[in-house]
Structure 1
Amino acid sequence: METDTDIKRTLDNIPGSGLAYNIIDFIDGWARKYSIWPIHLVTGCCSPEFMQVSGARFDMERLGILPFASVRQCDCIMVVGIVSRKMAERVKYLHEQMGEPKYVVSVGACPTGKGPFHDSYSVVAIDEYVPVDIYIPGCPPRPEAIIHGMMELQEKIRKGKRLGVKHD
C-alpha cells in the first residue's frame, strides 16, 4: 500500500505534477474541512450549550459538522465537561481507536484547565492524556464560541496544520 510520501515522491518525478499535487491537496483539505464527524463526550454542565449548537438556531450541520455515535467512524472528539483520571484513560482509549487524521477539541474550562475544580485530586486537564487541537474557553462556553472554535478547526484542517503534540 502506498503512503502519502510515496505518492508525493512519485508525483515529484513527473514534470508539471507539482501543480496537480497541490490541487489534490487543496481538494482534500476542502473536503475534510466540510466533513468533520465529531463524537462528543459530555460529562458536565456544558451539555446545554452543546445541545444549542446542535439545534436549529446555531445549526452546526450547516458547517459540515455532523455529530456521530461510532468512534471508529469519527475524526474528532469533543470533550465537554469535567474529566476525571478514570475518564481520561477512556478518552485516550477512544482516541487510539479513531482513524487518522484525528482531532481533539476541548470545550469549556473543565477539560482545559480543570475549571472550578482546579484543586481536586481526581480532575485532570485533557491535554495531559491526548493532544488537543482547539481549546474553546468559557464556563460554560457560549454556542457562538463553540461554533467559532469548530470553524478554527476547519481552517487548520484546510491548511493541514496541527496544534496538538503527540504524547507517549
Structure 2
Amino acid sequence: MTLNRLARLIRKTGRVAEPAPEPPPNPPLAAGTPRALNGSAQVRHVDCGSCNGCETEVGAAFGPVYDAERYGARLVSSPRHADVLLVTGVVTQNMREPLRRTVEATPRPRVVVAVGDCAVDGGLFREGYGVAGVVDEVVGVDLNVPGCPPEPDAIVAALRQVTGR
C-alpha cells in the first residue's frame, strides 16, 4: 500500500477509538492536596512489601487496555521527576526509611496514593512480624484505592481525579 493511499484511507475512516468516559466523581482528598495537577501527572510506583497482586493491576492500568497515559498519567523512574507516588503493600521494617526518603525526594505539590487493601489498612499482613504499618502511619496519604487487588479501573479513576481529566 502506498503512503498516499494509506493517508486517504485514514482520512476517510476517521477516528475509530471511542471517546473517553466521563471523569469519575471527586471523592475528598486530604487537606492541602491539589485537586488537579494541570492535566498531567508524573507517577512513581513504590512497592513497600506487597504480594505483587497490586503491581499486576498497576501494570494493567498503564497497559494498552486501560491506558492511564491517555488521561495524563505517566510512569517515571525517579521520585525527583514525580508528582504522584503510588504506594502498594504494607510498609515493612526494611522499607519504612526508603519510603520516607522517596516522599522527601518528591517535589511539592505531591500526591501520595495508597493502592490496595494492604497499603490502606494492612490487609492480610497487618499483624506480620516484619510489618512497620500501613502507608498512612509512615507518610501522609492523600488518596486511598481499596481492593485486594484493586481493579485497574479504580487505579485509573484515582489518577484521573489527580490529573483532573
RMSD over aligned CA atoms reads 2.0
Residue segments in structure 1 that go unaligned for 5+ positions in a row: 1-27, 159-168
Report what 1:120 is aligned to.
Answer: 128
Alignment correspondent of 2:104:
96
Aligned to 1:83: 91
2:161 aligned residue (145, 152, 157) = 152
Q: Is the 8 A contact 1:134 1:153 kept in 2?
A: no
For the Cα contact (< 8 Å) 2:73–2:163, is it kept in 1?
no
Q: Is the 8 A contact 1:134 1:152 kept in 2?
A: no
TM-score by length of 1: 0.70
Structure 1 residue 33 and structure 2 residue 42: aligned? no
Percent sequence identity over aligned pairs: 33
2:74 to 62, 66, 76: 66
Deviation for aligned residue 1:55: 0.5
The one-letter amino acid paired with 2:83 is D
Amino acid at match of 1:130: V
Q: Which region of structure 1 is more displaced relative to structure 2, 101-110 or 113-122?
A: 113-122
Q: What is the CA-CA distance between 1:29 and the residue it aligns to?
A: 7.2
Alignment deviations for residues 5-58 of structure 1 (CA, whole Å, 9 cap, x no partner): xxxxxxxxxxxxxxxxxxxxxxx976x232210100134321111111110000
Q: Report SS of the residue matched to 2:144.
A: strand
**2:144 paired with 1:140:** no
Q: TM-score, normalised by structure 2?
A: 0.71
Q: What letter is aligned with 1:54?
A: F
- The answer as to whether partners of 1:77 and 1:104 remain within 8 angstroms in 2 is yes
Structure 2 unmatched runs, 5+: 1-33
Distance 1:82 1:56 in 2: 28
4+ residue runs over 6 A deviation? none
Greater strand fraction, Structure 1 or Structure 2? 2
Aligned residues: 128
Q: Once the 2 structures are TM-superposed, how far is the Cα of residue 152 of structure 1 from its aligned partner?
A: 2.6
Which is helix-richer, 1 or 2?
1
Q: Following superposition of structure 1 onto structure 2, how do residues 8-27 of structure 1 map, counting pairs within 5 Å?
A: none
